[in-house]
Amino acid sequence: MISRAVRHTAAALGALASAAGGVSPVDERPAVLTNPSADSRAELVHLISAALNGARVRLADDSLTRDSTLIIERVQRRDAAGRPLDGRTLERPEHFHLVTHGSDCVLIRERTGKRQILRSARCQPAAGTQRDSVRG
């Protein structure tokens, strides 16, 4: 028998998920993209760029096809001798995770927890633990 407190907590989590765009972390599994297309890659770039306040982002064609984690680092500008122009960079890279939620592919920005459904992508549960890393 499920206690009243557990039912209340589950209902609150469901309401919170609805308020956050209808995607709940319940039954989510790390995922990878299957058969990425030009449209799904463009959508991924657009969502990540929007999450980073319009920053230009370059992704490899195979991003999120081998692992469910994508790490975005800011490109460090350098002078002609290869020295960083801004000195030491203390900014942390951004981490995104791809998960399945039912039949949806959902991209999650780790720092904020914001979830976006990829409309043009297809994904499947991930098998590996290797991480993709790109600079944008």
Domain ranges of the chain: 24-135
> Sorting pLDDT into bands at 50, 70 and 90, what band is 25?
low
Q: Tell me the average pLDDT across 2-24.
A: 45
What is the predicted pLDDT for the residue at 27? Answer: 77
The yes-or-no verdict on residue 77 having pLDDT over 50 is yes
- Count CA within 13 A, CB hemisphere, residue 99: 18
Output 89 or 114, whichever has higher pLDDT: 114
Closest Cα partner for 105 from 33, 7, 17, 46?
A: 33
* Sign of the Cα pseudo-torsion (86, 97, 57, 124, in order): positive
What is the predicted pLDDT for the residue at 88? Answer: 67
Q: Which pTM value belongs to this model?
A: 0.68
